[in-house]
Structure 1
């Protein structure tokens, strides 16, 4: 066995052992911390509930890493108009990957980052994407399942440290809705990070799942479209709404709420995209040049912002945009991202910013400062002008060079993916 292969396999084993040790440290550390503030508990009584937290986190981590593996296929194949179904294969020799080589993260490490057949290098981006998607799924899924992060859903404090999460159909469908939205945001962000325009199939998928999904699952609204201050107005009724099969309320009121929730979110996405166009596509003109590459970038920007806007509402999307803009600015300092245009860096930052919003959603709403349906007027005004000011400091214009993929033949996309992200 070569020294390179041995090093990668040792790293894989160390990662697995490190995760197990971190899990044990969390179980004991959390149990000790709870007994410090609640001395009527015994440490041994709290070990099993805390171990249950690890099981939930690991489940979402594995699911997210598997979705990330699939997204790598989507990001590479969709711009080439290839079918995303079928078995995974090496992008260089096109030989089908074995099942044992297709394990997220660890499959790449076990192969030392090279194809088993042709021995040519496989981009390290594959395990990186799998790790990032897995982490975002794990933190969002776990906190929502335990009702820590969702506003208006459950108590803000764990009612019983010995209890396991109470799960119902509404909560499970809401978590499913959010992880699908995160997966869509990651796919769109990575495609745009490569400089490729968003494929119509992906845009259609986003519209069907997010817009259609909210009509099918009213509980996916989470927050109302109104600015409601410290308490819910009587016109909103009980909140949050439940699913069609479990609700006893007026269905017409729910339909109006869903329609206005989606309308305000899409309008906000269009407005903020026009604001950020000064940074990412200043020459876009949907009237005079509707088919131009710059206008296509503007349309893609609208779609990118529409995903988090639908998920968290028009109020909170201002905070998501601010976080994503800051992350995009930070990415400029890293060599792997300097060759990408500004829109690509912003696009790949959006799913991370959306995950942060979902993770801290309850606390952000309770602060009355962060943009939300309960934010103070000052908080909303500051956030609004903060978004308007983004073009002043995120002013690198990626259009100075021909955007990768926007004006290239489809046949060149695969070569760029293989060579540029090695």
Structure 2
């Protein structure tokens, strides 16, 4: 076997996704504009120089869009990598600031180049560089899920990155409008917290108080400091002073989340672990969702959570309610524009 063949045989887990990304970029930024330009040039009779100019413009714009999408994916992947640390250390009473990541078997520190989200795990074929024992696939899966979450919310959410040059980023840079960026940060913070809570409960631990306190501090301070994070505020009509709308929205959303969490728990009480821990964890996660989403959005989120939990029970034989809540909250953030029309 030649050296080139051995190289590809050893490196195919990382070369394959990189090749897919390169092919997707070529198809999006080069091939698609070229085909469109050829068809338009044939129909309209544009001069060759004009067609070339439009192709170059399309290539630059689409390459910029691809770079922005990749940046948001890698941002989510980095947050997912840190979330893995939080989920492992915090329930066990360990500090998240206690050094870098280490192999769970030999405790060898993981190199920074090996800690790149998703790609680092693929590069090492899912094994520790030092002891060669397997590292659980859950770590890159969480990073991948968070990367896709950050990217999808950026595309379909308030930033509207489906068209980066006409998106909320442009309004932020040119007009100083912070609302799209603030709403995006608010939504991905909620999704990160829900995924972390779901993973902690899946591992059989209760949600730590430090985790809950952080979630509630951010969930109360951010709306009071900035405002305009809820699509519909409680008491928006006459008779309510303007200063009371945000606190009322938070209080009603929090109460609705707790009640809905208790109801969903009663209807899906088939997960493993102590009953009190399950109920408390589900209600706490729903309280966080209600605080961040508001009572209208948490209603539809709870309904979607119930459907996903029951579907997971039928298909997989078991499921975790809070992980279903994470998926339902993701659906809410993606489809919130249309769901808000029902309110």
Q: Shared fold by TM > 0.5?
A: yes
CA distance in 2, matches of 1:7, 1:126: 24
Deviates further, 310-319 or 158-167: 158-167
Q: Is the 8 A contact 1:8 1:109 kept in 2?
A: no
Choose the corresponding residue for 1:16, options 14, 18, 39: 18
Deviations 1:44-103 (Å, cap 9, x if unpaired)?
A: 544433333322211110000011111111111111111111210011111111111111
- Displacement of 1:216 after TM fit? 1.6
**1:326 and 2:338 matched:** no
Q: Is the 8 A contact 1:77 1:84 kept in 2?
A: yes
Q: 1:164 to 1:20 in 2, by over 3 A?
A: farther
Partner of 1:56: 68
Q: Mapping of 1:275-314 within 5 angstroms? A: 275-281=263-269, 293-314=274-295
CA distance in 1, matches of 2:269, 2:309: 16
Deviations 1:254-275 (Å, cap 9, x if unpaired)?
A: x311111111111111111221
TM-score, normalised with respect to structure 2: 0.81
Q: Name stretches of at least 5 consecutive residues in structure 2 with no aligned partner.
A: none
Q: Name stretches of at least 5 consecutive residues in structure 1 with no aligned partner.
A: 150-157, 227-231, 237-251, 283-291, 369-373, 375-422
Partner of 1:262: 250
Partner of 2:211: 202
Q: 1:312 to 1:23 in 2, by over 3 A?
A: farther
**1:133 and 2:146 matched:** yes
TM-score, normalised with respect to structure 1: 0.67
Q: Secondary structure at the match of 1:102?
A: coil
- Displacement of 1:198 after TM fit? 0.7
- Structure with more helix by fraction: 2
Q: Mapping of 1:164-175 within 5 angstroms? A: 165-167=170-172, 168-175=177-184
Higher relative contact order structure (alpha carbons within 8 Å, sequence separation ≥ 6):
1
Partner of 2:186: 177
Q: Is the 8 A contact 1:88 1:97 kept in 2?
A: yes
Q: Mapping of 1:1-400 within 5 angstroms? A: 9-27=11-29, 44-85=56-97, 86-144=99-157, 146-147=159-160, 165-167=170-172, 168-225=177-234, 233=237, 253=242, 255-281=243-269, 293-332=274-313, 338=317, 342=319, 345-366=320-341, 368=342, 374=343
What is the RMSD computed on CA atoms of the aligned residues? 3.5
- Displacement of 1:189 after TM fit? 1.1
CA distance in 1, matches of 2:222, 2:188: 12
Equivalenced residue count is: 321
CA distance in 2, matches of 1:59, 1:77: 27
Q: Is the 8 A contact 1:90 1:97 kept in 2?
A: yes
- Displacement of 1:225 after TM fit? 2.7
CA distance in 2, matches of 1:115, 1:94: 10
Q: Is the 8 A contact 1:148 1:362 kept in 2?
A: no
- Displacement of 1:141 after TM fit? 2.2
Q: 1:29 to 1:72 in 2, by over 3 A?
A: same
